[in-house]
């Protein structure tokens, strides 16, 4: 998939808005939601939000390995992630917030979200024959929000991926509609509240904005223009 730098930036900015309300992302954004394993409350952190029971440990280890300003304060917490709940640990939250002002943490987050989410999303898109920037946005958002393009959702509609002879725009439209219905009717109230993501995609599809060239894009009430 040959995205221009502007297209990649728009994709990242739209998803940043979904995650933190800011186009550039909030490196110090911290939230706790009951969306961990078996509904356990967990910390989510960073520019595009990674989770305590997901990849937060990897992000913080990268910060330590890059000798960030506060790297000496993280090892004890890194050992606890996934073992001891940290959602209610105010000292840990304060450290995350403090470290977010360190330029090394910001650089590490940029590298981390690109490596862990953006590149795998684009690799999946390439493998399955997708070429359009809007497709890249939809797929990247799925990797950020759900860790992948969920297989059980793919089984709920008929269109094949382009590499298997399907039509790209039809597949994206059906996937977005299916994902929207799944989120809107989810048993978890938190996920029901995230349909602004698929509502944005549905509007882009209706507008025929497959190249993400019609700007600004309205993402959860925020104008994304570059």
Give residue 145's pLDDT: 92
Which tokens hold the place of 163? 């590499």
Q: Which residues of 43-65 are buried (b: 16+ CB within 10 A; e: fewer)?
A: bbbbbbbbbbbbbbbebbbbbbe
| pLDDT for position 153 | 97
Q: How many other C-beta atoms are found inside a 10 Å radius of the C-beta of residue 206?
A: 9
CATH number, residue 43: 1.20.141.10
pLDDT of 48 reads 87
> What pLDDT score does 64 carry?
98
pTM given for the model: 0.90
User: What domain range includes position 184?
Assistant: 5-224
**Planar angle of CA 172, 177, 183, nearest 5 degrees:** 120
Q: What pLDDT sits at residue 38?
A: 85
Residue 37 is predicted with a pLDDT of 87
Token pair for 32: 């706790």
- pLDDT on residue 44: 94
pLDDT for position 90: 97
**pLDDT at residue 25 in the model:** 87
Low-confidence ranges of the chain (pLDDT < 70): none
The predicted-structure confidence for 99-122, as pLDDT tens digits, reads as follows 999 999 999 999 999 999 999 999
Domain count, the chain: 1
**Chain segment 73-96, per-residue pLDDT in tens:** 999 999 999 999 999 999 999 999
The b-or-e profile of 67-81 (16+ CB within 10 A means b, else e) is ebebbeebeebbeeb
């Amino acid at each position: 998939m040959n995205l221009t730098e502007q297209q990649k930036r728009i994709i990242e900015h739209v998803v940043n808005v979904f995650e933190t309300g800011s186009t550039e992302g909030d490196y110090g954004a911290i939230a706790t939601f009951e969306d961990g394993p078996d509904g356990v409350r967990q910390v989510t952190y960073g520019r595009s939000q990674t989770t305590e029971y997901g990849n937060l440990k990897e992000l913080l280890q990268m910060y330590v390995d890059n000798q960030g300003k506060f790297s000496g304060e993280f090892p004890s917490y890194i050992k606890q992630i996934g073992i001891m709940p940290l959602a209610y640990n105010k000292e840990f939250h304060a450290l995350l917030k403090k470290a977010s002002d360190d330029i090394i943490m910001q650089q590490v987050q940029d590298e981390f979200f690109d490596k862990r989410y953006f590149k795998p999303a684009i690799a999946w898109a390439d493998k399955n024959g997708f070429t359009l920037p809007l497709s890249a946005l939809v797929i990247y958002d799925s990797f950020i929000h759900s860790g992948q393009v969920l297989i059980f959702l793919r089984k709920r509609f008929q269109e094949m991926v382009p590499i298997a002879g399907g039509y790209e725009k039809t597949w994206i439209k059906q996937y977005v509609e299916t994902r929207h219905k799944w989120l809107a009717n989810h048993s978890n109230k938190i996920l029901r509240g995230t349909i602004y993501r698929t509502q944005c995609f549905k509007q882009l599809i209706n507008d025929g904005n497959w190249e993400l060239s019609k700007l600004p894009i309205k993402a959860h009430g925020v104008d994304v223009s570059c």
